[in-house]
Structure 1
């Protein structure tokens, strides 16, 4: 797969495509090659990311790191094919890149990439987008588990979440049969008990919360500011937007001295779906 093909498949922003062109030269690929290969391996991806940060030096808009991770994504496509993983899952997984860039534009007012510290999980086949949710190899109390992540804009309706879980069950059974896990885990502001009074009985977030057993809360975690309001965490509470009912409710909670934080929940694995293949 060519990089330009990858850009098209994942819907990379045209402005970013243009700004990446200076990186498309043989000397950069030769110099960065060893790091890029390690970005595709679960055992070395984090170390490769940290090393690349030093090698790349000043990278104010994160485009050098973005190029490296997209090149790693291009390279890892071959392993998807070797494992028989549908191209649809590859594309959905790597669409994290334009999504993160769009989130930065909302938060910072310009197109940039600041999520290299996270997206090496995608380039190393540690994390996959399957339907509405993302799934990552993790551990819970020392035992193998699968972490659920909720991408921005994800459909949290009961049918969409059920479908994602069913597809994920088939995915791991088909492509990672030797990975034995009994629990899904999730750490998210959307699981925070502080949200419950703000949610209607028919809320999709409430329905999602009710799937999990909450084992720990993190009341001081401020990630929800960026994720709910699309502003920096340092934003003043009285300046927070009130576009949605949840934004209005959380803003009132904060102005009243409350906090949302986040929570850690577990979900017992069930046998979702059948042996039918995942749609391509």
Structure 2
């Protein structure tokens, strides 16, 4: 896998590509950074983010790490489509970095370490991450989710609409991809906050997604919903924009003293 092929495969924008191909790093130095990442990630991130222009350096390094991960994908027999879809997060987060900081690069570096370590995969519209269930034992229908049992953590990257058809397609792909892991899907997200029913119609894609899950916990203090809906946080909700119906409804709720938090839920196909 060549770096140019990788950038084309994840549909990285022209300016972000220019940063990567214009970055000057000797191979010996790259090897040292890669080993530092492999052996002590906390120290690695501390050192990189202590440098000027660290967001661009992280964009370059994560692109290189992703290219290096391709051989492991091939050894595991994982399809190229899954590879490019998974690492399209580098494109997504480079664009988020431009939106939030006015420059292409990577700020969401802790998250992307999961991708290059082959601990997270995008299958269709959603991402899946094997993990030990960290809640207390939970009865869902006739199924008991045990504390510390292996489950699939679900993440929803920015992008295309979260239609019911795409959700079911992703779940079907995950059941095939993660053979041997129980089809127990756990999600911690603002999309599962029960109070969203105050700002969204019942037939919206988000509410249909939420209705799949048995919601077992809510976090009223989380402001993830505000960050995702408005792309920033404001102390005074009156300062939020009103460019979409969701923004207008959410702003009205928050301005009236309401809250938008997050929720934790479990989805077990054919058992709920």
Question: TM tier, shorter chain?
Answer: 0.7 to 0.9
SS of the equivalent of 1:68 reads helix
Aligned to 1:157: 163
| 2:9 equivalent to 1:3 | no
Paired residues of 2:234 and 2:240 also in contact (CA < 8 A): no
Aligned to 1:168: 174
Farther off after superposition, 191-200 or 151-160: 151-160
Paired residues of 1:7 and 1:17 also in contact (CA < 8 A): yes
SS of the equivalent of 1:23 reads coil
Cα root mean square deviation, aligned: 1.9
SS of the equivalent of 2:187 reads strand
Paired residues of 2:19 and 2:60 also in contact (CA < 8 A): no
Following superposition, the deviation at residue 108 of structure 1 comes to 3.2
Looking at both structures, which has the greater relative contact order when contacts are Cα pairs under 8 Å and sequence separation is at least 6?
1
| 2:258 equivalent to 1:258 | yes
In structure 1, stretches of 5+ residues that fail to align are: 39-43, 272-280
1:258–1:61 CA distance, 2 compared to 1 (3 A): farther
The CA distance in 1 between the partners of 2:199 and 2:149, in whole Å, is: 35
The CA distance in 1 between the partners of 2:91 and 2:15, in whole Å, is: 11
1:32–1:112 CA distance, 2 compared to 1 (3 A): closer
The CA distance in 1 between the partners of 2:235 and 2:13, in whole Å, is: 27
Aligned to 1:15: 15
1:125–1:147 CA distance, 2 compared to 1 (3 A): same
1:228–1:7 CA distance, 2 compared to 1 (3 A): same
- Report Cα offsets for 1:116-165 as digits up to 9, x if no partner: 01110111111111001010111212110101101112432111111111
List structure 1 runs of 4+ shifted beyond 4 angstroms.
Answer: none
Following superposition, the deviation at residue 266 of structure 1 comes to 0.6
Q: What TM-score does the superposition give when structure 1 sets the normalisation length?
A: 0.85
The CA distance in 1 between the partners of 2:123 and 2:256, in whole Å, is: 39
In structure 2, stretches of 5+ residues that fail to align are: 134-146
Aligned to 2:117: 124
| 2:92 equivalent to 1:86 | no
Aligned to 1:183: 184
Aligned to 2:144: none
- The number of equivalent residue pairs is 256
Following superposition, the deviation at residue 229 of structure 1 comes to 1.1
- Report Cα offsets for 1:37-92 as digits up to 9, x if no partner: x2xxxxx6xx42x2212332324451222222221111111111111110000000
SS of the equivalent of 2:113 reads helix
Counterparts of 1:104-143 in structure 2, within 5 Å, are 104-140=97-133, 141-143=147-149
Aligned to 2:153: 147
SS of the equivalent of 1:95 reads helix
Farther off after superposition, 59-68 or 197-206: 59-68
Paired residues of 1:107 and 1:226 also in contact (CA < 8 A): no
Paired residues of 2:23 and 2:60 also in contact (CA < 8 A): no
